[in-house]
Homo-oligomer: A and B are copies of this chain.
């Protein structure tokens, strides 16, 4: 089957480009001498995780327990969930996973750690834990090295908690003082600091400079968001993920409608919602739920109903999360149809 035979909207992935991105990031991290932990929330497909591991990644990240279950079931054996796992149902699932694979989670409060410890005392087992530091992202994380120290002291001896170190996101040079001070305090207190996990595609070198023992990167496999936004930099050679659409209406001069809207591309702002490969001069300027509204006023091409147009979506991870399958192709040949097994695993 050729990609031209696929009905639309079709979410497809250029395998040559995907493999190139995976290899390039692996090489980049080898050259920096920092271990890479690939974040699989960007794709949620076990076989792509295995490709990342085969290229040299030391393990993967999942953002939810349900995603980790999918990956463990596919044979992945080292997973960091950089997320506070809260509540007895999830903790029980976490402990089950930790019996089958090396599982590490983030915590930023005694309450989260205590919940895991309580579960471990009920069900047995233990979980590797990193304390999450808020080094500027203003999301989760303890707010200071002193808080990190205090929390570490509280949880290090809890049954079922195997404290391994700290994590932050994203790795920024501004985090240096926070990390250095935390390391000094922990050393003084005799606390274990085997892992300092940094993260963010594009932050690998900074992670190394900060002294991180690993760097978590995910969106590098699609290499798209920022490039599509600043279209002068766009090299579609680096963007494997595409959505093939069909023109379903050419109602008025300057406007065409394609058969994908918010339920195909995701509703993530801002305009433009995607970059057109065949006609970079056209722009998706609005989206209904199932219609994409495209401004073609700057194009000299005569668009016809039935014509196919290929777009690099703006937020590739959110777009892929809407679909059950990803079609991998090489040249024009369909090579694999991957079920997006981690899709919708919000728990």
List residues of A whose CB falls within 8 A of some B CB.
Answer: 7-9, 41, 63-64, 83-84, 86-87, 89-90, 108-109, 111-112, 115, 134, 138-143, 246-252, 255, 257, 259-260, 262-264, 266-269, 288-291, 293, 304-306, 315, 317-318, 321-324, 344, 346-347
Is A251 in contact with B108, judged by CB distance below 8 angstroms?
A: yes
Query: What secondary structure prevails in chain A residues at the interface with B?
Result: loop
Determine the chain B residues whose CB is within 8 A of the CB of A321 once the complex forms.
263, 322
> Contacts A139-B291, A323-B346 known; A112 to B248 CB distance under 8 Å?
yes
Contacting residues, chain B, for A306 (C-beta < 8 A): 86-87, 111, 115
Complex Cα distance, B288 from A112, in Å, reads: 20
Closest residue of B by beta carbon distance from A324 = B344
Query: Closest 5 interchain pairs by CB?
Result: A111-B305, A84-B248, A140-B249, A7-B89, A267-B268
CB-defined contacts of A322 to chain B, threshold 8 Å: 321-322, 344, 346
Between A and B, 20 residue pairs with Cβ closer than 8 Å are A41-B289, A63-B290, A84-B249, A84-B257, A84-B305, A86-B246, A86-B259, A108-B249, A108-B251, A109-B249, A109-B250, A111-B304, A112-B248, A112-B249, A134-B252, A140-B291, A263-B318, A267-B267, A289-B318, A322-B344
Are B267 and A83 in touch, CB under 8 angstroms? no
Is A64 in contact with B267, judged by CB distance below 8 angstroms? no
A188 to chain B, nearest CB (A): 24
Which residues on the B side are within 8 Å of A255 (C-beta)? 138
